[in-house]
Amino acid sequence: MYLITGSRGQLGRELAKLLPNAILTDSDSLDITNADAVNEFVRNNNVDTIINCAAYTAVDRAEDDEEAAYRVNVTGPENLAKSGARIVHISTDYVFDGTSNIPYTTDDATCPVSAYGRTKRAGEIAVLENAPAAVVIRTAWLYSPYGNNFVKTMRKLGAEKTSINVVYDQIGTPTCAADLAGAIVDILPQIHDGMREVYHFTNEGVCSWYDFACAVMELSKLPCKVNPVPGTAYPTRAIRPAYSVLSKEKIKKDFNITIPHWREALIKCLKQF
């Protein structure tokens, strides 16, 4: 039996569509920071595989409340890993400092520069050290028709304003949540006890937030003009990685997965809006 935690989030909702028989939980129905509650839930529901989409993702707020982020991003995953079930754990590009200029591989040293990144990296370690089988998947720039995300924000602003400013000097790759969910479902049958691997998944290609915003406006047929500005124009509490392109070679090779380009994925996703 599959258990999806964080099922009300972007990825959780896409997974729920692909795994209709999975058990869906959120923070109201299962407190993953409570080890006894996790163990009892897993045992009573015969859960053998957990897909952990639960996370504390308020990146700036985490700078002032790292303890809260730690509970959800480290204690929670550790409890899930110790429950005896296999686990697919979703992580982030924020485990890197963003100083590279070539795509990060899973062999590259991590160096988080924010509280969010530190807790997500510690969560990875907790899962890999404690689960009977663990697959950690780092992703970035996630969007979907659900929840709050960059694409929805740009469409809203594009409908309200004649021009907006978007940073041009943060480089990465958008990820359509539906594509990530599909990859996870392909991987699930191939997980076996003793497996402890880290993978990267985003859509293919590279862009800046400015490029991404321009594509959203163009494909949504919104006349709003997008102006490129440096990240210094929008100082944030937490440091964002300036470069967070992730290499997908390992996940494509190990699981024979084909990944669409980010623009192709965006076109497909926008049809659902």
- Residue 203 CA to chain centroid, in angstroms? 12
- Taking the CA atoms of 114, 118, 124 and 127 in sequence, report the sign of the dihedral they define: negative
Beta-carbon count within 10 A of 187 CB:
20
* Catalytic site residue from 116, 143, 168, 199: 116
Beta-carbon count within 10 A of 145 CB:
17
Taking CA atoms, 205 is separated from 82, 88, 258, in Å, by: 37, 25, 13
- H-helix or E-strand spanning residue 49: strand 49-52
* Euclidean distance between CA atoms 114 and 172, whole angstroms: 17
Burial class for 231, CB neighbours closer than 10 Å (0-12, 13-18, 19+): middle
Task: Let me know if 234 is a catalytic residue.
Answer: no
* Euclidean distance between CA atoms 162 and 103, whole angstroms: 35
In DSSP notation, 104-158 reads BPTTSPP---SHHHHHHHHHHHHHHHHSSSEEEEEE-SEE-SSSS-HHHHHHHHH
Q: Where are the alpha helices (DSSP H) in the chain?
A: 10-18, 35-44, 59-62, 66-70, 76-81, 115-130, 150-160, 177-187, 209-219, 249-255, 262-270
- The torsion angles phi and psi of 30, rounded to 5 degrees, stand at -150, 115
Residues acting as catalytic residues: 116
